[in-house]
Structure 1
Amino acid sequence: MEYRTLGNTDLQLSAITYGAFAIGGNMWGGNEKKDSIAAVQASLDNGVTSIDTAPFYGFGLSEELIGAAIKGRDRSKVQLLTKFGLVWDGSNQAKGEYFFDASENGKTIPVYKLASKANIIRELEASLKRLGTDYIDLLQLHWPDATTPVEETMEALNTLISQGKIRAAGVSNYDLALMKAAGKTIRLASNQLAYSMLNRSIEKDIVPYAIEHQIGIIAYSPLERGLLTGKYFRDAALKADDHRNGYFGQFSADKVKTFLDSITPLAESKKASLSQLVLRWTTLQPGITIVLAGARNAAQAEQNAQAMNLELKAEELGFINKELEKVYRETAV
């Protein structure tokens, strides 16, 4: 495994970081708790020392499962990345910005964005309890909240850093203008953004800005929620309540399949899976600090970690990029 410094901080994070959205279950067709805990532990056992989660993932369940998985381990050797800013329990919704309707067990649950100082403190304390720790390595605003001034949010994060409750502060899904606004109050450690072979829009302005200002980029959905593994072109089926039934529709399936078919021989020549090849390509892109990869069981987690063992020569990267160029313009979002 390779470990990288996050932005201007002293945090050393694993280049492949465990992404814990799916183990929360909601929007992903459920989960098996035992398998989820095993996936986190297998990640740690294979050099993936960093775990990214959020209170919203499973309405607290993801954080609880991670807390169970790391219990008894040396906390100093695990980096916990979590978020704040999405509320669903009704206590603060009137103060926030309506986002969307989630569901759990057939029940509709309105989700709001709220990044006020009071809510940050409330959410952090709940996350610390669920994770079974007394500090968070990286606390991130999950989504921008138009109802709260950027300065208020960033000042609260500065306070939490000074109190030792968090080691560093970042944002997620921030555009360039918001990054610049935040930078007037805090020195951001990172911005977590959607980035994949099929979604490279941040390369235009956000990545150059991040490189110039020493801000880490955390790439989420590098496998496009499983689409780039290739298995959904074979025999994998999605459950009815899996959000990917609609998500995959934004891409040209035929073109994505053609692209994956073109790079499959390269993966096979290296005794690697398509997902490993895609993950490794992503870690090698300019400005990308770490890449999130989810896993529902130990086998998937081990495979993700081993992606970093894959060596790609300049000409091989060139080949992938050439094949990708044939489909990217029509599949990018």
Structure 2
Amino acid sequence: MGACAQSPAPAANEPGFSFIVIGDTPYSAQDEAMLNEALPLIKSQSYTFVIHVGDYKGGGQQCLKQFDDRLEQVMNDLSPIPVFYTPGDNEWTDCDRHTDPDTGEKYSDLERLEIVRARFASGIPAGAGAFGYRRQEALKENATWAYGGVRFLTMHVTGTNNGRDWVTVDAIADAAAAANQRDAANLAWLDEGFEKAADENASAVVIAFQADPTDIADKPDDVMCDSAAESDQHPCDAFTDLRRALQHSAEAFKKPVLVIHGDTSPFTLNQDFDGEEAENLWRLNAAGDAGTNRAGVRYGLVDVAKVTISSDETSPFSAEGLLTGIQPSRK
């Protein structure tokens, strides 16, 4: 895969800047080859930071330490560029689909989450100190930082109905309580982030998490979850409160807001929020989540995303595949 010519990321005092988003990869040998090409390019072009929106292993793969090690190696390979990671469902909430080869038993999702937290949410990422980086006390994997007059937030929001569906090992009550705690912490973190952005007169806010908050085709509209279930026959939409909070926060902020997520395959940049839209609110479904369906049709984009923030009020956010130069769909 040939690399497009790239220019270095602008300094913080310039009118625009770019950063990299990685997510939903590597799932295949093709993905691994892509990363082997992309990581040196990211480092050589001195992008200021990388956001990783989770799912660093395929959903069909066991939840093995070697995949955790691989994410840590990606972070080490990019150092001193900081990598800001937010968890995905593949590395914890979907792990109870698989058997742990060390025990012969199915994984506990909540035990896997503690492993992910201990490894990737226990300190400050290398190189992040210059950005005023800070973790949330209530949910250590949630973080915030600032660069170029923009306030950034990560939030722990995953697929599988935000960890509320297909709970097959942990007690249903425990899974529900953990999800309720995450939801409350996320909404508080969102409020705090927008308050901080207003206080510092930020020019924009960027929020990154794993789940696609519009991927709710099989769920009832605007029925928020407060429980968990053993299957996906669970009549609630776990992203209802989040979409509403994003809409209301963006409307109050009045300046550009970008939500970056993964989990579904279309590389897309638009303003669709399944009914909770705002004129200054955009959504980027990042590159990744690539594969071939049963009909032999390819989906997703084997790439990482270069995201650019500019001072253009009508189109403040843009993106392209770092290696392919492919632009996201606007539909």
Q: TM-score range by the shorter chain?
A: 0.3 to 0.5
TM-score (structure 1 length as normaliser): 0.44
Which structure has more RCO (C-alpha within 8 Å, separation ≥ 6)?
1
TM-score (structure 2 length as normaliser): 0.44
Q: Which has the higher helix share?
A: 1
